[in-house]
Amino acid sequence: MSDFLKKTLILARKGEPLAYPNPLVGAILVKNGKIIGQGYHKKFGSPHAEVVAINNCVKKGNNPENSTLYVNLEPCSHHGKTPPCTNLIIEKGIKKVVFAVKDPNPKVKGLEVLKKIGIETTYGQLAKTATELNKVFFKYQKTGLPYLTLKIASSYNFKIWSPKITKITGLESQKFTHRLRAKSTSVLTGINTILKDDPLLTTRLVKGENPTPIILDGSLKIPPKSNVLKNKKTIICTEKKSSKKNVLTFTTLSNLKPILKKLATLGHTNILVEGGQKITSSFLQQKLADKIIIFISDKKLGQQGLRAILPKTLPNLKITDIKKIGEDIVMELRNL
């Protein structure tokens, strides 16, 4: 049983990043110990994994009746952009459904619907792995907040900017960052980074969709010709009143949680933060980062270099991964 569930997790990953903000889901139909159909949720708004697997089964000339459906997330039972998956499961006579973890969305009652109709339904195996796969979706459904990855690129003396050095990390680390962007709905930075570096915040070094840039700019100082404004979806968060499109006004930008909640309601559920010292320190102080990724280069920045974070802002962390990328070291950390 767990082998088929493991395969659904592998299939589910193929939907990254186009499935967002929907969860990553893979599904497999098994009959007499053999896979007779499979599929995954390819893109937001497209058919769900269960439907794709059933259609794949029929297309191959197989009959899904009396088969077992394996899926990494509880099948949906409500109308959204697509009809309920439970309807098709019942219609096709599938006798058993095995899923890894329950859907945290309160609208989803797949387990209840299937059991009520008499379909054998079990769940719980690989629940931790399945939850981790869809950590972005689970966090938003449970807290209303986006999943937040804080990225820091520093010299080996833990400085992030110098007037003399424009690129701290090497090309491979830059590509890694662009892959992080491709997996994110949005990339957030502050006005100081815009004024100093004028970044593009795109995925130009890899294949993938550009994330939506989000700029924290309390006084609306962003220059009209800034590179990020080439992206028409760019959002500016400010304390100034404005009638301009894509400008969100808040009482203060110092309290980040209400800003994040608002952004999440607009679909920005997986945010990569690429800020300077002030932005990075604020997210750390307010304990809002789910994951911290630190790139450490072999360069040393001198006296004029800007420290990565303000003193005493780094929380208690545990290192979950460490590896070498090109000439740089990359560490992944999470809060204890």
Tokens encoding 309: 């974070």
For position 142, what pLDDT does the model report?
95
Cis amide prior to 23 (ω within 30 degrees): no
Q: Write the DSSP symbol of residue 24.
A: P
Residue with tokens 């010299």: 155
For position 163, what pLDDT does the model report?
67
| DSSP element (H, E) containing 279 | helix 277-285
Q: Where are the domains of the chain?
A: 1-133, 144-334
Q: What are phi and psi of 330, to 5 degrees?
A: -120, 125
Q: Which residues on neighbouring strands pair with residue 36, listed in sequence order?
A: none
For position 317, what pLDDT does the model report?
75
pTM for the model stands at 0.86
For position 298, what pLDDT does the model report?
80
The number of beta carbons lying within 10 Å of the beta carbon of residue 3 is 8
Active-site pick, 16, 50, 65, 332 = 50
> Is 50 annotated as catalytic?
yes
Q: Write the DSSP symbol of residue 64.
A: -
Q: Phi/psi class of residue 107: alpha, beta or left (left: φ > 0; alpha: ψ in -120 to 50)? A: alpha
Per CATH, the number for 144-334 is 3.40.430.10
**Domain 1-133 sits in which CATH superfamily?**
Cytidine Deaminase, domain 2 (3.40.140.10)
If 0-12 CB within 10 Å is exposed, 13-18 middle and 19+ buried, where does residue 179 land?
middle
For position 161, what pLDDT does the model report?
64
Report residues of the chain scoring pLDDT below 70.
1, 158, 160-166, 302-316, 336
